[in-house]
Each structure stands twice: as C-alpha cells, then as structure tokens.
Amino acid sequence: MDYEPPFQETYKSFLQNSFDESEDKNLFMVEECELPLINLSQLNLEQLGRDKCIKEIAQAARQWGFFQVVNHGVPQEILNNLQYEQKMVFHLPFEKKAEEKFLNLSTNSYRWGNPEATSLKQVPWSETLHISLADISRMDKRNSLRSTIDAFGTTASTLAQRLAEILAQSLGIESNFFRENCPPKSSYIRMNRYPKCPLASKVFGLVPHSDSNLLTILYQDQVGGLQLMKDRRWFKVKPNPKALIINIGDLFQALSNDVFKSIKHRVVSPREVERFSAAYFYCPSNDAVIQSYTEPAMYRPFTLIEYRQQIQKDVQDTGDKIGLSRFLLSNNISPKIVSNS
C-alpha cells in the first residue's frame, strides 16, 4: 500500500539478521492489568467526595505512575473525530507525508522508524505526527484536522492543568507553578499509527522509554499493545473505551522529589491489524526551572531545554536516553540507561 513507510526496505539487513535470533515470546506472554480507574466527576462533589478523589489520584501516581480517568471533560465526539482524522492523514501516500512542509507544519513533524538505529530493537515500527500547539495556527484553516487537533488540544490542556494542580496540592506544592510556567503553546500532540508488523515478536511498535514531560494524556483504540513496567515486571494494559490514560512524566517525578513515578513503558507491534493512538504531552516552557519541592532534594534544579539537550547528547553518545539520573545530586549514584524517548 502506498501509504506504508518503507520499513522492510530500510531495515532489510536488520530483518535478515533477525531470522537467526529466537523469538521474544515474552513480549506477548505478560500478565494483563487494569490500571486504577478514577471517576473525575467526584471532584464536583462535596468536600468529602472531592478529597477522596484527590487521594485516589495521588495514590495511583505514587504506586503506578499510570491511571485511567472517566468523566474527564474531553467529549467523546472530539475523540471520535480525532481517531477518524488520524486515520485519514496516515493513509495519505507516504511521499506526501514525507514532504518537508507536510500540512505546513515544522520540519520533521512527520516521523517514522529511527534513522539512528543500529539494531532492530532500536527501531519503532510506527509512524507519528508530532504537532506543537504553537504550530496549529500554521495549518490550513480548511483542513478538518486543524479544527480537531485544536479542540483536542484545548480540552486536553484543561484536563492536564487540572490534574497537575491536584497532584501538586496533594504534595503541598504551590499550584500557581503550572499556570505561570506551562503556557498552552509549550505542549504538543503526537498522533501514532502502528502498522501490522511481520516480526511483531522481535520489533517494538514503540521502544521502552519514559516520557520527558510533566504529564501525558493518552487516547487509544481497542487493539491494545501498551505495556508498562511495575515491580520490575512488564504488564499489558487492558484498553478501556471510555477512559483516557494518564501517566507521570520525568519532570513531575523530579518536581515531586521521587514521590510520583515516571514509569518505563512500551508498545508491542500489532500482528494482524493496525493500531492508532494520540497523546497530549503537557510541558512547561523551555526556560521553566524544575526543582524538587522538598528537602533534601533528589535532583539539582534544571530547565526543560537543559533536560532535552542532555537527552540528545546521551542518545548521540550511547544510543539511549539516560534521563533523570543525570541530574541526581548524589554523586556516588551511577547514571542508568532507560532507553530512548
């Protein structure tokens, strides 16, 4: 099909070498989990009900780093439109998607695979459209994707700020931090398509990683494939058609002084049908200072741009993201590779 990225041609040598390797059946033979499910309508109840909901959110962020929310304020119509639009855009001819100014977005907004990969395990068998909220105004007003992305971005931004302030409140952090340091245009949306993969047991749809932001809001279809690590074990996440998935990013882990956890996760490549998802990444401005809220602090203060530059350097030097351990204040703790984000 003319919309498929040329994975098999580009990674031909990797694929040929993989036939000599045994299949990693552990990618599929993992226990299924149901993430904590939180009904956000409880936040509109009297103080007792609201406090209970806040406690549930904070507990999930501490114990799992991931949780699901329903009655979240993002209308189902917007989510349905988003899924339709991303199918339409990803099914455009590959040559069209690969154009330098595709949809009049910034260069490299459309991405697939990994041009720096040195092995099959570093290749994400997926294509993505990375859209900064600052870029939306550049899109053609007649393009229905623009209005859909705008609507999703607006409602997801409201939800992200609300959850961030609730999590901060549970720690005693001044919640104005997010209003002052997280303007909407500093965040971005990433739409993902995971094509059917002929070697699904050997190739990730998305390689293991943690998110380099504050919070992520994920909407996914019902195909499944998202897996997360808890207690040093991988679990597959059971899709819930009525819920959005929330996960803590690296920056919130640092801000919370390791109270909340940015958990490593991955996506297994689909064997039989393509999979779609869309994520909103809640980020501060590049110069916002991320500082542990209590003493003794685990991490030295740093900015988002500094964090991203360090990740880029580590990926170039080692092939992987090292992440937060680069910013630990304890000099006797060795950096740990957590894989590329």
Catalytic positions:
275
Sign of the alpha-carbon torsion through 341, 177, 61, 323? positive
Give the type of residue at 228: L
Please state the separation of Cα 213 from the chain's center in Å. Answer: 9
Structure tokens belonging to residue 276 = 């779609």
- Complete edge-to-edge strand list for the sheet that includes strand 226-230: 31-33, 233-237, 226-230, 265-268, 204-209
Sign of the alpha-carbon torsion through 172, 176, 181, 187? positive
Structure tokens belonging to residue 101 = 């100014």
CA separation for the pair 222, 200 (Å, rounded): 18
Tell how strand 31-33 and strand 302-303 pair up. Answer: unpaired
Place of tokens 């640092």: 254
